[in-house]
Each structure stands twice: as structure tokens, then as C-alpha cells.
Amino acid sequence: DQEKPFHVLVLMSDTGGGHRASAQALDAAFDSLYPSRSQITIVDFWTSVAGFPFHNFPRQYSYIAKRPWMWKLVFLWAAFPPTRWLTEAAFSLFCHSKVRRYFEAHDPDLIISVHPLVNTLSLSVLAAIRRAKRAPPPPFVTVVTDLGGAHPTWFDPRADMVYVPSEPLHQAALEAAVPEDRIRLFGLPIRPAFWQETRSPAQLRVELGMALNIPAVLLVGGGDGVGGLQAIALAIAARIAENCGSSAAQLIVVCGKNKSLLNRLQATSWPIPVILKGFVKNMSEWMSASDILCSKAGPGTIAEAWIRGLPIILTGYLPGQEEGNVRLVTESGSGEFHSQPDDIAECAAKWISDPELRAAIAERAKSLGRPRSCLEIASDIWDIAEQRQRERDAFRLRMLTSHSQHVPN
Ligand code: UDP
């Protein structure tokens, strides 16, 4: 039984790109640290486990994330205690038994949550299983994938461990009554390409079809390509052409899953060299080969840019959830925040024409990068899982012994 690989269940949901990216990063870290000793299942909790009537969360997120006022409303609804309680009661009413059936059928050795909305329900289900079976449940740990601010639903004091990526979130976990000894601060779990990159930016530029000798501005809007990218791309291209010249820099726009944006940009004529992409699987390479990042304040994208030492122009944020990220970037001197396309473009043109300023900001960004955080989190989780496995084995042995003592020969 000892040799059996750990079955690790990772609960995420495709609301944005960050949760799946973090789940895959943890999968890769376990594989790298403990090859063949873990078997990982990554599941979209809302579409594949909890189901109706919440199975459309990923699609609804994509709609709401494009409408900040609506986002703020939803964020506050789920944070305000009475409405939060109502929401959790609805989750429990519709989904408790489905989640319980799923946990019992899959019988994981370890459960990792990388999503704020799965913690309360999953922990209540595990408590119910524990009461029914009187056996220690698998450990449940939460890896927070927000950066400078986090929704209160991330923090449930019943979790065996809560991993946070920054000091403000360490504080938020304490305020949510998570015991100090069950909080660990490492950084965000970032995918392996960001801890393993070996090729030089020049080599990558050749492979990616970029111009070799001019600076590159990389414009992204999270996994869903949100945040008014079209107006920002047009403003940046026009301002660079006007202030610096039409061959002074190149622009790469990553539209993520926003296909209609990609189509619109492809139908545009551009005053500077431009590369347009849909969802890219090699973000690490695009970041390595670029000189400036323009992005909404997504936590994953910011942490990746820090690892790559990219100066950051933040162009917007989801109210509530991403405001804290803006503070982290601007107060650390690793970037600036501008919400208007003209101001964003002005900042990009200023950084293009001042390589020394760019280098100083890049250095501050690089100092904040934590490329090994994912490995540190995985190793810590593994220790917890091994410890709990020993407790569960001892419990099973006790049950077996007491059962055999009561069975007549
Ligand atoms: N991403 C990607 N390819 C794309 C667009 C985004 O791999 O075409 C990744 C990006 O590198 C980051 C994640 O998706 O890891 C976006 O996460 P973030 O937290 O920044 O924003 P979210 O989409 O979750 O709001």
C-alpha cells in the first residue's frame, strides 16, 4: 500500500486563466519532485463536480469580467456576510450530496483547492464524511492564486494549510481566523516554463517571428483577453509611431480566448510592426522575448512578469479582487498603473525611448520574482500528505485489528 502513488485531487474552475495555470503548475511540481509517486486529477469543480445550477460559472465569469461594475456587485455579494451565507447555503443545498458522492467515489489521498469558491462546501462535505465514517479524512489544503488582495471565501479555518503568496494575504488569512501555524507564505505557483527557461531572448525572437533589434511591448488581458485591449493596442501603436518612429518598437497582442477581439485586430492596419495571437501556450517565451508588459492586474500575469523581469504597465483591474495587485506593483516600483489608453500609450512610449529607466524598473521587477515558489509549495504539501497518510494507515490498522478480535475463529 505504501508504494501506491498518492491520488491528488486538485479542485479548480476555469473562471479566468489563473486557476488552471496554478493547478497545472502544481501538477508539474509534484511530477518533478516525486516522479511516479503521485497521480493527479485536475477537475473543474463547478462544471464537473457540483454541476447544476452552478455549472455555468466559467461562462458567466467571462461575461462578468468584461463588465467591472457587475463584477464589483458579485464580489461584494459573495463577501458581505449575510449574502455570503445565503450563497453558501444555496451551494450546500444543491451540491452537497453530489460533491460527497464524487469525493467518496474518487477517494483521494490529498485535496488541493486553487479556487476561492470551493473551500467552504468541500470542507463541509469532508466534515460530514468524517462524522459518518469516524475516520481521518484526506488533508485539504488551499493554495491562494490571488496576489495583493483576496476574496474572504479563500480562507476557511478548517483547511489543513493555506498557502498565500504575499504579506497582505498572510494578514488577510489571519483576519479570517486561520490559525497562524496553518498559513505558509511562499509565492504564487507558477508553471514550469517559468522556472526552467534556458533559451536566450534573441533565440526566442527568431523562433517567435519577432523583429530582432527593436524593443517589444507585450499586451495581454488575462486568459479571457479582457480589459479593452483593442483601444489600448491602437493607442500604443499610434503613440509609438508618432513619438518614436514607425520602426522604433513592435507590439504583440495576446487576445487569449477572446476570438472576436482577435478577428477585429486582424482586420486593422497598423503603423508599427504588430504580431496578433489568440490563446498562447508559451507565455513564458513571449515574456522572455519582450521588454515591456501591458496587462490588467491579473495575479498570475504579474507574478510571471516579475520572474521574467518585465517592467509592467497595469491597464485595469477587477474591482475588489485585483485592486491590491495594483498597489503591490506600483509601491514596489516594478510598474505603473494607467487606466486610459492615451496614458498607457504615453507610458509605453516613454519607456521605449528611455532604456535606462526601463532597465531600472526591470531590475526591481526581477527582484520580486519567485520562480521556485511552486516547488516549495508542492514539497510542503507533500509532507502534510505523508503525515496524514501515516495517521490514516494507523487508523485502518486499528480498525482491522479490533474487527478481527471480534470475529470468532
Ligand atoms: N495566459 C496564457 N495564455 C494566454 C493568456 C493568458 O497562458 O493566451 C495565462 C497567463 O500567462 C496567466 C493566466 O493565463 O498565467 C492568466 O492569469 P491571471 O491571474 O493573470 O488572470 P485571469 O485570467 O485569471 O483573470
Max mean pLDDT range (51-60, 255-264, 391-400):
255-264
Strand, coil or helix: what is 34? coil
Pick the residue whose CA is nearest to atom 1 on ligand 1: 223
Is residue 197 over pLDDT 70?
no
Instruction: Specify the pLDDT at position 3.
Output: 67
Is residue 127 over pLDDT 50?
yes
Instruction: Specify the pLDDT at position 1.
Output: 46
Strand, coil or helix: what is 382? helix
For 140-143, the CB contacts below 8 A with 24+ separation are 140/111, 140/112, 140/113, 141/110, 141/111, 141/112, 141/113, 141/381, 141/384, 142/112, 142/113, 142/114, 143/22, 143/26, 143/112, 143/113, 143/114, 143/189, 143/377
Residue 17 Cβ inside 6 Å of ligand 1? The answer reads yes
- Measured CA to CA, the distance from residue 28 to residue 24 in angstroms comes to 6
Give the residue among 360, 348, 122 at the shortest CA–CA distance from 238: 348
CA–centroid distance for 367 within its chain: 20
- Measured CA to CA, the distance from residue 223 to residue 255 in angstroms comes to 8
| 7: region left, alpha or beta (phi > 0 left; psi from -120 to 50 alpha) | beta
Q: Cα dist. 155→119, 136, 164 in Å?
A: 8, 21, 10
Residue 18 Cβ inside 6 Å of ligand 1? The answer reads yes
Give the residue among 249, 338, 340 at the shortest CA–CA distance from 292: 249
- Measured CA to CA, the distance from residue 359 to residue 362 in angstroms comes to 5
CA of 107 to the centre of ligand 1 (A): 31
Antiparallel, parallel or unpaired: β 335-337 and 312-316: parallel
- Measured CA to CA, the distance from residue 108 to residue 6 in angstroms comes to 8
Instruction: Specify the pLDDT at position 64.
Output: 86
DSSP structural state of residue 49: I
CA 255 to ligand 1: nearest atom: 8
For 223-252, letters b (16+ CB in 10 Å) and e give: bbbbbbbbebbbbbbbbbbeebeeebbbbb
CA 222 to ligand 1: nearest atom: 23
Q: Cα dist. 323→77, 161, 380 in Å?
A: 17, 25, 29
Residue 222 Cβ inside 6 Å of ligand 1? The answer reads yes
- Measured CA to CA, the distance from residue 331 to residue 310 in angstroms comes to 16
CA of 281 to the centre of ligand 1 (A): 10
- Measured CA to CA, the distance from residue 299 to residue 364 in angstroms comes to 17
Residue 258 Cβ inside 6 Å of ligand 1? The answer reads no
54 touches 95 (CB < 8 A): yes
CA–centroid distance for 258 within its chain: 18
Measured in residues, the chain has a length of 409
Q: What is the pTM of this model?
A: 0.90
What is the tens place of the pLDDT at every residue in 218-252? 999 988 888 899 999 999 999 999 999 999 999 99
Residue 108 Cβ inside 6 Å of ligand 1? The answer reads no
Give the model's confidence band at 164: pLDDT under 50 very low, under 70 low, under 90 confident, else very high: very high
Of 301, 312, 314, the one to substitute when testing ligand 1's pocket (max ligand atoms within 8 A of C-beta) is 301
As a whole number, the mean pLDDT across the chain is 93
Residue 352 Cβ inside 6 Å of ligand 1? The answer reads no
Of 146, 224, 283, 308, the one to substitute when testing ligand 1's pocket (max ligand atoms within 8 A of C-beta) is 283
| Percent of the chain predicted with pLDDT > 70 | 98
CA 15 to ligand 1: nearest atom: 24
CA 277 to ligand 1: nearest atom: 8
What is the tens place of the pLDDT at every residue in 318-377? 888 899 999 999 999 999 999 999 999 999 999 999 999 999 999 999 999 999 999 999
Residue 223 Cβ inside 6 Å of ligand 1? The answer reads yes
Q: Which three cell numbers stand for residue 286?
A: 513571449
What is the tens place of the pLDDT at every residue in 7-32? 999 999 998 778 998 999 999 999 99
Q: What are 161's strand-pairing partners?
A: 141
Of 154, 220, 224, 321, the one to substitute when testing ligand 1's pocket (max ligand atoms within 8 A of C-beta) is 220
Q: Give the ipTM of the model, two decimals please.
A: 0.98
Give the model's confidence band at 304: pLDDT under 50 very low, under 70 low, under 90 confident, else very high: very high
- Measured CA to CA, the distance from residue 119 to residue 126 in angstroms comes to 11
What would the 3-class secondary structure string for 190-248 be? Answer: CCCHHHHCCCCHHHHHHHHCCCCCCCEEEEECCCCCCCCHHHHHHHHHHHHHHHCCCCC
CA 300 to ligand 1: nearest atom: 19
Q: Which three cell numbers stand for residue 129?
A: 464524511
Residue 279 Cβ inside 6 Å of ligand 1? The answer reads yes
Q: Which three cell numbers stand for residue 182?
A: 496553518
What is the tens place of the pLDDT at every residue in 50-103? 988 998 888 888 888 778 888 888 888 888 899 999 999 999 999 999 999 999
Instruction: Specify the pLDDT at position 370.
Output: 95
Handedness of CA 226, 43, 51, 114 (dihedral sign): negative
